[in-house]
Amino acid sequence: MMALGSGNKTIRWILKILVGVLALGVACLVLYRASSYDFEFLPTFSSSKNAAREMLRVFRKASMENKTIILTTLNEAWAAPNSTFDLFLESFKIGNNTTWLLKHLVVVALDENAYGRCVVVHPHCYLLHTGGTNFSKEAYFLSPTYLQMMWRRIDFLHTVLRLGYNFIFTDVDIMWFRNPFPHFFVEANFQIACDRFNGNSLDVNNAPNGGFNYVMSNNRTVYFYEFWYQSRLKYLGQHDQDVLNKIKHDPTVRNIGLKMRFLDTIYFGGFCEPSRDMNKAFTMHANCCRGLEKKVHDLSMVLQDWKMYMSLSPAQRSESPRWRAPQKCLF
């Protein structure tokens, strides 16, 4: 009996040692993963750790204190002098309390020429490599290159969230006129501009536009962007915005507890539904418009209207002047 009891004690002692060793191993693994988390990118992203380090360097330099950055993507066609990129940057400079936001803007270049143009005019530029794909030319709506570019963007934004950064994503054909942060919904994880707004910011039947959104980094948004990206396989041949319009009704989105809000076009308008009062406009998007030349023409007109508005007296501004655009984008 004593021998049997002694054997049981020995077994329990060995089990305790094994459990302790296992616990130590798990702890070491967690610490290792935490220390190397910055370099755990999705397979389509990681060309090298040097690229990862460069991304983090740019993000850290541009980040606000709460790890928030502003992001836009740029290719050669849109980066050309006197094209959308110049108009985009100018809008920040002539906007009302928007110049400081440029310190937090990261321009993600999709090709070498766009990157070369960016570093000449802006301090925070990152070259996003995409093997085997040329994103330098104008990508026509729903063309294979356009679809790949849009899904590349969702993939990239997923990575940004995994790194713990909140972001405003803005298309480069959006003009910024006021600081939007005070107007965002504090409780929302994910808020997005609309092509058409029905008056209820909570209604998923609004028509969202992926060109402007404000997203907080947390487990909900990381999972949501992963679900969004993977949903492209279910809805083949459709772009990110069309897929969002489908998955916003999906039980998966409700189950993860994502707090989604839709932004009013009175404040965040576009050519689909222009903001009716320049006194309330935060941004203006050249949406519902196909063709770079048309966008540049009408956005140039938008900037002219804004400059004229800023030159008015408070009494004249109170008369609610309106935009002349869209004009070419109507056709």
Q: What is the CATH number of the domain that holds 260?
A: 3.90.550
> What's the domain count of the chain?
1
Task: Determine the pLDDT at residue 163.
Answer: 96
Asked whether residue 135 is assigned to any structural domain, the reply reads yes
Dig out the tokens for 36 from the structure: 């190397």
Distances (CA, A) of 74 to 23, 116, 322, 329: 47, 11, 29, 21
Mean pLDDT of the chain: 85
Write out pLDDT tens, residues 182-194: 999 999 999 999 9
Asked whether residue 326 is assigned to any structural domain, the reply reads no
Asked whether residue 60 is assigned to any structural domain, the reply reads yes
State pTM to two decimals.
0.83
Write out pLDDT tens, residues 29-40: 333 333 333 334
**Residue 174: strand, helix, or coil:** strand
Q: Are 279 and 318 in contact (CB under 8 A)?
A: yes
Asked whether residue 305 is assigned to any structural domain, the reply reads no
C-alpha 148/C-alpha 204 separation (Å) is 26
Asked whether residue 2 is assigned to any structural domain, the reply reads no
Asked whether residue 31 is assigned to any structural domain, the reply reads no
Q: Is the pLDDT of residue 307 over 90?
A: yes
Q: Is the pLDDT of residue 323 over 60?
A: yes
Asked whether residue 30 is assigned to any structural domain, the reply reads no
Strand bridging mode 190-196 / 207-215? antiparallel
Task: Determine the pLDDT at residue 5.
Answer: 54
Q: Which domain holds residue 120?
A: 49-265
Asked whether residue 128 is assigned to any structural domain, the reply reads yes
**Residue 330: strand, helix, or coil:** helix
